Structure 1
Amino acid sequence: MTLTKTVIITGASSGMGAATAELLAASGMKIMLAARREDRLQQLTERIRQAGGIANYHVTDVTSLEQMQALAAATLDTYGQIDVMINNAGIMPISFIRKLKVDDWDRMIDVNIKGVLYGIAAVYPHMEARKEGHIINFSSIAGHVTFPTSAVYSATKHAVRIITEGLRIESRPDQHIRATLISPGAVQTELYKTVTDEEVVPAMDALGSAEWKQLDAQEIANIIKFAIEQPASTTINEIIVRPTSQSL
Structure 2
Amino acid sequence: MPKTILITGATDGIGLLTARMLAKDGHTLLLHGRSAEKLTAAVQSVSTSGAAPRTYRADLSQLEEVSALAGEITAGHERIDVLINNAGVLKTPQPRTAQGLDARFVVNTIAPYLLTRRLLPILPARGRVVNLSSAAQARVDVAALRGQRSLDHMAAYAQSKLAITIWTQEMARAQPDGPAFIAVNPGSLLASKMVREGFGMTGNDLSIGAEILCRAALSEEFAGATGRYFDNDAGGFARPDPAAGDAAHVAAVMAALGDLAGPVPEG
- TM-score range for the pair, normalised by the shorter chain length: 0.7 to 0.9
Number of aligned residues:
218
Query: Distance between the aligned counterparts of 2:225 and 2:95, measured in 1?
Result: 37
Give the distance between the partners of 1:29 and 1:178, measured in 2 at CA. Answer: 19
Q: 1:191 aligns with which of 190, 194, 202?
A: 194
- Match for residue 170 of structure 2 among 140, 150, 166: 166
In structure 2, the residue matched to 1:222 is: 211
Contact 1:185 1:243 (8 Å CA) reproduced:
no
SS in 2 for 1:143: coil
Q: Give deviations 1:12-52, integer Å, cap 9, x for gaps.
A: 11101101111111111111110111111111112222333
Aligned residue identity for 2:22:
L
Per the alignment, residue 43 of structure 1 pairs with 41
Residue 8 of structure 1: SS of its match in structure 2?
strand
Q: TM-score, with normalisation over the residues of structure 2?
A: 0.71
How far off is 1:194 after superposition? 5.1
2:22 counterpart of 1:32: no
Which residue of the other structure, out of 142, 150, 153, is the alignment partner of 2:157? 153
Q: CA deviation at 1:90?
A: 0.7
CA deviation map 1:47-71 (0-9, x unaligned): 2223333411111122334433443
Matched, 1:109 2:98: no
When normalised by structure 1's length, the TM-score is 0.76
Cα separation, 1, equivalents of 2:153 and 2:110: 21
Query: Does the 8 Å contact 2:127/2:180 carry over to 1?
Result: yes
Residues of 2 paired with 1:149 and 1:64: CA distance? Answer: 19
Secondary structure in structure 2 of the residue aligned to 1:103: coil
Give the 5 Å matches for 1:117-132: 117-127=113-123, 130-132=124-126
- Separation (CA, whole Å) in 1 of partners of 2:75 and 2:96: 36
Structure 1 contact 91–194 (Cα < 8 Å) conserved: no
Q: Tell me, yes or no, if the aligned pair for 2:189 and 2:195 is still in contact at 8 Å.
A: no
Within 1, Cα distance between the matches of 2:112 and 2:207? 22
Instruction: Output the aligned Cα RMSD.
Output: 3.0
Per the alignment, in what secondary structure is the counterpart of residue 141 of structure 1?
A: coil
CA distance in 2, matches of 1:103, 1:193: 22
Change (3 A) 1:109 1:149: closer
User: Match for residue 83 of structure 1?
Assistant: 81
Does 2:91 correspond to 1:93?
yes
Question: Cα deviations across residues 143-166 of structure 1 (Å, max 9, x unaligned)?
Answer: 2699x9732221111111111111
Stretches of structure 1 that go unaligned for 5 or more consecutive residues are 95-100, 196-203, 209-213
1:242 aligned to 230, 233, 246, which one? 233
Using the alignment, how far apart are the partners of 2:108 and 2:223 within structure 1?
Answer: 29
Could you list the runs of 4 or more consecutive aligned residues of structure 1 that deviate by over 4 angstroms after TM superposition? 76-79
Q: 1:4 & 1:58 partners in 2: Cα distance?
A: 20
Displacement after TM superposition at 1:124 (Å): 1.4
Unaligned runs of 5+ in 2: 141-151, 236-267
